[in-house]
Structure 1
Amino acid sequence: MADDSDHERRLVSGWEGRYYEDFSVGDVYKHPYGRTVTETDNVWFTNVTMNLNPMHFNEAYASTTEFGERLVDGTFVIALVVGMSVIDVSANATANLGYDEVRHHAPVYHGDTLFAESEVLEKRESSSRDHVGIVTTELRAYNQDDVKVISLKRTPMVLKREYAQPSAAKPTGWPEGIGTQPEDLDGE
């Protein structure tokens, strides 16, 4: 077994997401972690949002439709795939300016596993805020059978790196002084 006593402890930055400068038109980001949609996801989301369409919560009704079973609430699908894209597109966003051209291409069923990707369509400097740029992406999601189930355009305002000043000691979302700090590692 290797002796690790010769190694110096250090704080190492984790993934902080992309900043405005990191986006290039034409880039496609295949977002990690496909996600299987469960019956619980659908029923809870449908109830929380008070969506009264029985297609989402009434099996007897849904079984008589052309789909033969309940469909996953389309607004859940939007929320899920947007959430899947945050790690690559908007972890450093200060605001989402719009969701446009939302298209449901195929139904989503309980048990489907969704995979999402985003393509950068355009980017520009903000004319009113020096600390951000505006990035437009097309977000697409597919099920386990490679059937496109949804697409939409998404436009966040994304921080420029110089204004974010991320560090290993204080990553995005952490208050100052929490957890291991550089001075905790000195002299070891």
Structure 2
Amino acid sequence: MTDGPSTGEDGSGDRRLVSGWNGRFYEDFSVGDIYKHPYGRTVTETDNVWFTNLTMNLNPMHFNEAYAAETEFGERLVDGTFVIALAVGMSVIDVSANATANLGYDDVRHHAPVFHGDTLFAESEVVEKRPSESREHVGMVTTELRTYNQNDDLVLSLERTPMVLKRSHADPSPAQPTGWPEDVGTQPEDLG
């Protein structure tokens, strides 16, 4: 860590606001593109117990070890709706950070069970896009979301269709990125 301003590659010590990732806008999507979402996520027992209780899922397969031990799986399974929520959440950074609404989740398939301690990875493939006929500021993007465990087993697939802002109707800036209120944090005038 330095005491003063950092020195850039050009040798200057000027501070500046730099745009971070603002997500994709409608124009950024092309059919056939595949986004491997960053960061795998290990599913814990706590995740499963909390989610099962929160959603009142009374299937003992998720919370009763003695019961689950007598099933074909020999242990508790992670609640499938948690797997869906986690996979969709993992995809937001690439697919729907600029969505104004999610229009649907279709063709949901659980291909393999998920157990405590599994690490999940998700990717999305753009399968369709079209501009909205009723809202000029957005378009619909349909992706196939696929989720794998650490052994490369496909555990979940689904299609989802968010309504995504067009770039011309969004105005993120380094001083006010998406989701930040106006005039919060460092502003250009602060860099003097």
**Gaps in structure 2 of 5+ consecutive residues:** none
- 2:13 is aligned to 7
Aligned partner of 2:58 in structure 1 is 52
Residue aligned with 2:63, SS: coil
Aligned match of 2:162:
156
Q: TM-score under structure 1 normalisation?
A: 0.97
46, 49, 58: which one aligns with 1:43: 49
Matches for 1:2-151 after TM superposition, within 5 Å = 4=6, 6-151=12-157
| SS in structure 2 of the partner of residue 14 of structure 1 | coil
Are 1:179 and 2:185 counterparts?
yes
Opposite residue 62 of structure 2, the aligned amino acid is: H
5+ residue gaps, structure 1? none
Per-residue CA deviations over 1:52-85 (Å, capped at 9, x if unaligned) read 0000000000000000000000000000000000
What secondary structure does 2:20 align onto?
Answer: coil
Task: Give 1:7 deviation, angstroms.
Answer: 1.7
In structure 1, how many angstroms separate the alpha carbons of the residues matched to 2:13 and 2:103? 46
> 1:162: Cα distance to partner?
1.1
Number of residue pairs matched by the alignment: 186
**Quick one: distance in 2 between partners of 1:172 and 1:88?**
14
Give the share of equivalent positions with the same residue, in percent: 81
Amino acid at match of 1:98: G
- Aligned-residue CA RMSD in angstroms? 1.3
- Which structure 1 residue ranges, 4+ long, deviate > 2 Å from structure 2? 1-6
Provide the secondary structure at the position in 1 that maps to 2:91. helix
